[in-house]
Structure 1
């Protein structure tokens, strides 16, 4: 094991090591020593490059949003904005299911409340300071703008549509990760897509059109390759 914390890729190695630990062992294992061991660096590297574990967790959350942005961008753009939005929300759900602890961390939360070291320091949602979050969210806003431009809904500012869909998707994902839909055959279709359909219809779209557009996505959905 090397302990050369001056390596140019040391910060990236620490972030990637944290993501692996989250996926395999959960948040309780995210400590300076365990992360450094996983990255093949000395514990001091966490403090040298990030200042401490809370700041490292912020960097990991930002990496999560960068990965979500990549997944969003891999969703094919079609001539149907409703179809594209549905695919983006399903892609977000897939990313969360692939690494639920990372998704938790991206929003400064944890189902088990184990991210207490970072509480009060996460900037992803609360004050909008994370550039990674803003860049990712901008992709969703742009997709909502296409919804308005194509006259699928009433003339509404995309900035008001995006948080409605984002809230519906995030609420569904958090509940699903906590096991609340375990008894349902297809919660993504029955809850997530159905809820977002209702939002878009409420914004002025015709229900028949919305359900036709999203039905095709559900039937053919294949997750874009994750970053």
Structure 2
């Protein structure tokens, strides 16, 4: 499904996406069937096929929507005269997105739906989101605040660190012992310090 088609989804299409999100959140991937999505949305199963081509199309749209929303969150971080503070803001936006949208985050990164493989458009949307972070890193490099390395490589380093900490936090690993906001702040600060010139 093209991005242009997605922007023209009708109320039924949005209801099906909401139903899929609810099912994944409350019952897990096993509950995500065409019949259950349609029932939750109050429509016939034909609506899943006509709008998304089937279950994989719904999951792919959730994947795309997740990365589009993450890109919006990253873009909402202001560009200031302090590129490192801007990077910190992007890191916080990433964490906030994951905590606010755990189901989308799981679809995007944890492949919670068995046998789902994102298609070309979905992967392009994900890659474009990485480009947002690379642009922020490139700006910090141009200001001499970070080592001049390939910005996409640097983005991969930063993203994988952020993802690792957030994933552990989402899985509630020792919340009574570990201060996850502090761990996240320290981990991202350590990565940025490691890239200092």
What is the TM-score when the length of structure 2 is the normalising length?
A: 0.84
Q: Alignment length, in residue pairs?
A: 189
**What does residue 131 of structure 2 align with?**
138
Name the CA distance, whole Å, in 2 between partners of 1:144 and 1:16: 34
Gaps of 5+ in 1: 1-6, 206-227
1:161 and 2:138 correspond: no
Tell me the CA shift for residue 47 of structure 1: 2.0
1:76 to 71, 75, 78: 78
2:194 to 180, 202, 210: 202
The answer as to whether partners of 1:63 and 1:132 remain within 8 angstroms in 2 is no
Name the CA distance, whole Å, in 2 between partners of 1:165 and 1:185: 21
CA gap 1:17/1:129 in 2 versus in 1, 3 angstroms: closer
**What does residue 223 of structure 1 align with?**
none
The answer as to whether partners of 1:23 and 1:99 remain within 8 angstroms in 2 is no
1:122 and 2:118 correspond: yes
1:45 to 44, 47, 57: 47
- More moved, 38-47 vs 166-175: 38-47
Root mean square deviation, CA, Å: 2.3
**What does residue 217 of structure 1 align with?**
none
Tell me the CA shift for residue 95 of structure 1: 1.5
Name the CA distance, whole Å, in 2 between partners of 1:24 and 1:77: 38
CA gap 1:187/1:33 in 2 versus in 1, 3 angstroms: same
Name the CA distance, whole Å, in 2 between partners of 1:98 and 1:8: 23
Name the CA distance, whole Å, in 2 between partners of 1:89 and 1:172: 11
The answer as to whether partners of 2:162 and 2:184 remain within 8 angstroms in 1 is yes
Tell me the CA shift for residue 143 of structure 1: 0.8
The answer as to whether partners of 2:141 and 2:147 remain within 8 angstroms in 1 is yes
Name the CA distance, whole Å, in 1 between partners of 2:125 and 2:20: 18
Name the CA distance, whole Å, in 1 between partners of 2:30 and 2:103: 10
- More moved, 10-19 vs 97-106: 10-19
**What does residue 150 of structure 1 align with?**
143
Tell me the CA shift for residue 83 of structure 1: 1.1
With a CA cutoff of 8 Å and minimum separation of 6, indicate the structure with the bigger relative contact order: 1
The answer as to whether partners of 1:90 and 1:188 remain within 8 angstroms in 2 is no
CA gap 1:128/1:145 in 2 versus in 1, 3 angstroms: farther
Name the CA distance, whole Å, in 2 between partners of 1:8 and 1:159: 33
